[in-house]
Structure 1
């Protein structure tokens, strides 16, 4: 198969790609593919290895199509029009499982940083303005023993819940679109409106779909407690970013920790200006071992398809 790889990958993954597909083309570069670039790639290659931000949707499917498989490097694939791909006989795969623990770790990183105002404190030290410890400086919120509400109890949501409960003695409530009879830890399923009203920390862990677009908007944020923090490690457009900025500016909630953004990589200046927000550049899976595992999983999907087998992670 003639393969295009849209971004630079880890050395170990690129070496294995070259071994399996000697004529692979590495597009590299930091910028994601536009729809026009994706259309050209779909017309010119048998297989694409794409990742977050590559616009494999809309007009990308309007022209001639040579590609038969689009292997996504990542679990979330809302940048790919999977329905259009299926309609044109193109298989789409992703990399679930490999990202679970790393993404859950980032959720806890953000939860702790937001609660304890670590981002603001770090900026304060770097500014040179710190004159020493005082009893009332950068007072945050305690985490241990508090209640966390997790929106979406899939693989990642469950991993976050386990860390919160067993690591910090937190009470776990969760909202899920389907009933979860055995969550695997002490946890209580509640409607979304109740979760928002009773949680000290709300963690978003649902996939980005048309149904979850702006799942958290002005009305939902208004239900949260004044001392509550919102953590999003899923996809940016699940939260109405303008509504979140307004809620934070009005002190409707105490803070937020975000690893994803609605128009990524664009982050509004109004959001960057808020000292009560911790902002990370989509670090959820940014660990060498994890990126290796993701790449090897994406490659396993490609090689299975090439060899006439069903890819293990078709979506």
Structure 2
């Protein structure tokens, strides 16, 4: 998949694409439906298939102090998009100027002048332009005027009776329901970070951990998780028990992901670790001391092994899950 950030430099061969439009945070089943339809239309027309996404996420422009909410960072999202089989992804910079662009000008300047689109695929609740002033009815009207087709898709149903959406996935993760979130993502949600040195208390009680910060991505429910972890983006996935939270028994260092790999030995400091959340074990809890904490971790690890043995396999994308 080719990635275009300098949208003024898109060559003629990349113009005329069938494009799926959206923020694509999560590249979940709903986004996959848009992308699959765009790819099918591109195959019928003999044109490129592409996704148009926006960086940074518009919410970061309008709510810069909002709590972390992104499901993936930009590079992880692009890796997931590449795994869909798209020919290209256009990364449109979202800034104040773009946010002020009226709907009709967004179509004329971005979709037509920059991309020369032949077809666009959007959700039926798609809005665009200044103050979200454009809807799918206007998009169809403008498509007829400028000579491109428009396909709209209904939301993909979720197993719980709702719809598949990034906001629903965020809510499930915040509620400590990673397995339910995985059903909408069609993969286990994966976090990445560089292992940092801590106070090494885990080593003193027989459970060393690899610790990292989540940064600007969503913070899931605090507590203990059954996880699988991969080192440096390749090789096997190792079974693990992870705690996300403030470590109330030891010391509050702010929200931290601590991963104990069950059958692994080796120095992980400074290495990149990918951790996919498979299931939720229990909420974070303060214990009376290290002996009580050690005993609980032993119980948690037994539960984690059982959970991982029973877990449903989920797909993954290179570098992202």
Q: TM-score, normalization: structure 1?
A: 0.28
* Higher strand fraction (1 or 2): 2
Q: Bigger radius of gyration, 1 or 2?
A: 2
Please report the TM-score for the alignment, with normalisation by the length of structure 2: 0.28
